[in-house]
Amino acid sequence: MNRRRLFGLSAMAALAAAGCSRTDAGNGAAVQAGTDEIAEIVGPVSPISAFPTADEMNAFVDRLAAVDPGRVLVTEIGRSRAGQAIRNVRIGSGPRPILVLGSPHSNEPIGLATTRHLLGRLAADEALTSSLGATWNFVPLVDPDATRLGEGWFGGPFTRTNVARHFYRPPGDLQAEWTFPMNWRGTPIGRPLPETRALMTLIDSTRPALVASLHNADFSGGFAYVSGGDSDYWRSLTGHITGNGLPLYRGEPDAPGAAPLTEGIFGMPSFDQMCSAIAAGCADPLALSGGSSGHYAGQYGGAYLVSELPLWSDPRLADDSPGCESPDRSLGCCARRPPAADLPNSTRKVGVSRLSSIGGAVRSNAMHPGSWFHWIDWLLSRHRLSSRR
C-alpha cells in the first residue's frame, strides 16, 4: 500500500465523519461524495439521532468481539485516572498499522459515531478488511472519565442551551491528546496522564503508519490538518467535505504555526514549529501541557490526519461579504468571562470551552457554559445567523 493509498484511507476517516455528523443525510449520502474506492470502504452511512455514550460504545465493542473473537481483538491498554479501562480494538492483520482515535476530546462525539460505523463495517466484511492491507487499531474512548462527565447531551435535544448545560471539557493539562512528552530547545515539556501513557504504549508497540484523530468543532465549516500529501490529496479532502453539503471552514487555523495548504486544509505544524510560533507571538511555549498524538507518533515516520466537522452549520457560513463587526471585536468578546466568584458552583468544573466561530477557532480558559452560549448568541446575532435554542 503506497503513501497515496495510505492518504486515501485517512481521507476515508474524514469522509465517514462527515456522513455521521449530518443527521439530515439520507442513507448512503456520504458514499456519493467520495471516490469509488473510498465509497466501497465506507459503505452506506445511515443518519443518526444520537451520539453513543461511553457505556453504549463499550457495549457495542463487546458485541462485535463476542460475534467474531477471532477477528475482533479487544485489549486493555491502560486505566484512566478514575480506574476505567482504556481499550484498543484491533481488526485486520495487514502490514500497515493504522491508529484511529475516536474521541480525542470529551466534547467531540462525532468521532465516537464514526468509530462505531467503521468498526461495524470492517468487522462485518472480512474480504474488505483483508483487501486493505492494514491492521486497524481503534481507541474509541481516549478519556472515558471526561466523556462520562460531558455525555449528558449526546442523546439530544441538540440545542445550544442543552449542550451548554451538559458541556464538559477538561483544561489543557488534563487532556490526553495534548499531554504527550515533548522537548523544545533542550527543555522537556509535558506531564503525561495515565490516559496519555496508555496511548504512548500503543503507539510504541504498533508504530502506526497513520494516526487519524477524529475531532469536531461546534460552529464552523469542515476542515482538516494533515502532515503531508499533495494538492490532489488536499483537494480530495475538501471534496469529501463539500460533497456532503457542508461548508468549508474559511477562518485561520487554531494550531500555532499551521500553514494553509488549500481552502479548509492546513499543514499540521511540528511541535518545534508550534513552539516557535508561540514564542514569536511573545508567549511562553514552556507553558504548553505537551504535544499531540501526531507529534508523538511522528518519531516513527507515520502520517497524521486531524478531521474537524461541525456539530452545527449554516449555509451562510460561506458568505464572505463584509460583516458589521471586526474580527478583533468578535474574538475579544468571546474571550471575556466573568470572575470565578460570580460563577455558580455547578459550572466551575468546566476548564476549557471551545468555540469555533466565523472569524476563527477561539479558545478561552475557564469559560463556563453560561458565557459559552451567551457569546455564541452574541456572535450569531451580530452576524445575522439564526439558530434555534
Structure confidence by residue, pLDDT tens digits, 180-229: 999 999 999 999 999 999 999 999 999 999 999 999 888 788 999 999 88
Whole-model pTM: value is 0.79
DSSP strands (E only) in 30-166: 72-79, 85-91, 96-101, 134-139
At residue 230, the pLDDT reads 86
Q: Is the pLDDT of residue 160 over 60?
A: yes
Residue with cell 472515558: 144
Q: Is the pLDDT of residue 352 over 60?
A: no
pLDDT tens profile 33-67: 334 566 677 888 888 899 999 999 999 999 999 99
**Grid cell at residue 167:** 458541556
Q: Is the pLDDT of residue 104 over 50?
A: yes
Confidence of residue 318 (pLDDT cuts 50, 70, 90): confident
Average pLDDT, the chain: 80
Max CA distance (Å), the chain: 60
With DSSP H G I counted as helix, E B as strand and the rest as coil, what are the percentages for the chain, rounded to 5?
45, 20, 35
Among 59-63, 285-289, 364-368, which is the least confidently predicted range?
364-368
Q: Is the pLDDT of residue 355 over 60?
A: no
Cα dihedral value 319, 323, 325, 328, nearest 10 = 50
Q: How many CB atoms lie within 10 A of CB 131?
A: 13
